[in-house]
Amino acid sequence: MLQTKLPKVGTTIFAVMSQLASEHGAVNLGQGFPDFAPPSRLLDAVERALRSGHNQYAPMTGIPALRQAIAAKTERVYGHRPDADAEITVTSGATEAIFDAVHAVVRAGDEVVVLDPAYDCYDPAIELAGGRAVHVPLDPRTFAPDWERVRQAIGPRTRMLMINSPHNPSGAMLTAADMATLAALLRDTDIVLLSDEVYEHIVFDGARHESVLRYPELRERAYVVSSFGKTYHCTGWKIGYCVAPPALSAEFRKVHQYNVFCTFNPAQHAFAEMIEAEPEHYEQLGAFYEEKRDRFREQLLQTRLEPLPVPGGYFQLVDYSAVSDLDDNAFCRWLTIEHGVCAIPLSPFYDAPPPGQRLARLCFAKNPETLDAAISRLQKL
């Protein structure tokens, strides 16, 4: 009889809720994807790449032009230029990069410290590697880490610590003080840091994204994961990359080459061109989404949902306590079926959800018409 390797895993909540939204004609603010087009230059560039014959296998680590463009961009944004040949690997999305990083270093019996709520791909990658996730809760309202609790969770079997900033699902961001505390916490250990930074350019209110790549002591022990899909509105292309020091990259590539081997070739040429020709896209991305955040928040204040602060990313958490006493899974199903707006419950992001938490996640990476349609329905709650 077949025994599952992932007994706690079913279909992801994102797929479940998107299917429910489709079945009931709901406005889908659940799954985190934009409903507007990628930049015109990027679309033109990928078409040229397709017609120019870039349709066979790419180099395993990514085409040289893209890795060089990533290196130059990293230096421009974070003041550090990684080695394009030894430290940058192009991957089939950030999820693949996270999987590869975990499997590169985590062995059977190792422990990985995860900060809850956490994106749902973390635990399965750890379990498939034979490791054990040790969950440390973030503050249930601010989603800030309690570093003393993190310190207490670290033990002799700890192999990796995973962080995510800007944070999915909350949008919370780590500060410079957090990074200094983290560096002190990991000093004199062999713990590998995995930093999920897929929303790195979507930061608001004049804040600075505190990338691990800014901090030499941290980047020397880290896998730093980025996403082209989040930055360039093309999540369906599934292309990201990982920056890590040579020894960590070498192990990462051993997994990557037998996982997917290489990533969609034409898009790599397009991204290389886009990064160099139009840096203002990622430089202005925060302002682009900040306008959407502010408009959506103002609209939510006209409903019975309470919007929480959103320092970064493109998700808005709402407290629905004034609307319903249902648990978050039941509430999101009710909201989708009965009121035609799809949201994501927060509990699937936790190993042990806080008792009585009444929070749901809405995505505002949408056209104004989409958000307006959702608000008109939410005002009737």
- DSSP labels, 232-300: TT-GGG--EEEE--HHHHHHHHHHHHHHTSS--HHHHHHHHHHHHH-THHHHTHHHHHHHHHHHHHHHH
Of all residues in the chain, what percent carry a pLDDT higher than 70?
100
Whole-angstrom Cα distance, residue 340 to residue 358? 19
Tens digits of residue pLDDT in 234-286: 999 999 999 999 999 999 999 999 999 999 999 999 999 999 999 999 999 99
pLDDT value at position 51?
A: 98
* One domain for residues 187 and 210: yes
Q: Is residue 181 part of a domain?
A: yes
- pLDDT at residue 342 above 90? yes
Q: What are φ and ψ of residue 165, in 5° steps?
A: -150, 135
* One domain for residues 207 and 138: yes
Write the CATH number for 338.
3.90.1150.10
Q: Is residue 52 part of a domain?
A: yes
- pLDDT at residue 335 above 90? yes
Q: Of 278, 302, 319, which closes a domain?
A: 278
Direct distance between the N- and C-terminal alpha carbons of the chain, in angstroms, rounded to an integer: 48
Computed over every residue of the chain, the mean pLDDT equals: 97
Where does the pLDDT of residue 12 fall: very low under 50, low under 70, confident under 90, or very high at 90 and above?
A: confident
Whole-angstrom Cα distance, residue 89 to residue 104? 13
* One domain for residues 320 and 255: no
The total domain count for the chain is 2
- pLDDT at residue 53 above 90? yes
The H or E element that residue 367 is part of is none
Whole-angstrom Cα distance, residue 294 to residue 205? 11
Structure tokens at 241: 């990359």
Where does the pLDDT of residue 79 fall: very low under 50, low under 70, confident under 90, or very high at 90 and above?
A: very high
Q: Is residue 6 part of a domain?
A: no
Letter string b/e over residues 209-222, b meaning 16 or more CB atoms within 10 A of that residue's CB: bbbbbbbeebbebb
- pLDDT at residue 371 above 90? yes
Q: Is residue 8 part of a domain?
A: no
Q: Is residue 7 part of a domain?
A: no
Give 86: exposed, middle or buried? Use CB within 10 Å, 0-12, 13-18, 19+: middle
Write the CATH number for 219.
3.40.640.10
* One domain for residues 295 and 270: no
Q: Is residue 4 part of a domain?
A: no
* One domain for residues 192 and 137: yes
Q: Of 278, 295, 321, which closes a domain?
A: 278
* One domain for residues 194 and 228: yes
Which structural domain range is residue 233 located in?
Answer: 40-278
Instruction: Answer positive or negative: Cα dihedral of 93, 97, 100, 102.
Output: negative
Of all residues in the chain, what percent carry a pLDDT higher than 90?
96
CB 224, CB 244: distance < 8 Å: yes
CB 265, CB 343: distance < 8 Å: no
* One domain for residues 52 and 162: yes
Whole-angstrom Cα distance, residue 232 to residue 66? 15
Which DSSP letter does residue 93 get? Answer: S
3-class SS of residue 88? strand
* One domain for residues 231 and 371: no
pLDDT value at position 1?
A: 85
Tens digits of residue pLDDT in 15-42: 899 999 999 999 999 988 899 999 999 9
Where does the pLDDT of residue 170 fall: very low under 50, low under 70, confident under 90, or very high at 90 and above?
A: very high
* One domain for residues 184 and 289: no
Q: Is residue 371 part of a domain?
A: yes
Q: Of 278, 294, 310, which closes a domain?
A: 278
Tens digits of residue pLDDT in 290-331: 999 999 999 999 999 999 999 999 999 999 999 999 999 999
Whole-angstrom Cα distance, residue 309 to residue 316? 8
pLDDT value at position 9?
A: 85
Q: Which stretches within 156-222 are classed as H helix?
A: 176-186, 216-219
- pLDDT at residue 4 above 90? yes
* One domain for residues 259 and 298: no
- pLDDT at residue 233 above 90? yes
Whole-angstrom Cα distance, residue 120 to residue 29? 18
* One domain for residues 171 and 251: yes
pTM, two decimal places: 0.97
Taking Cα atoms as reference points, which of 124, 114, 101, 120 lies closest to residue 145? 114
- pLDDT at residue 11 above 90? no
pLDDT value at position 31?
A: 87
CA distance to 11, 30, 208, 344, per residue, from 16 (Å): 7, 10, 35, 10
* One domain for residues 348 and 228: no
Q: Rg of the chain over CA atoms, in angstroms?
A: 20
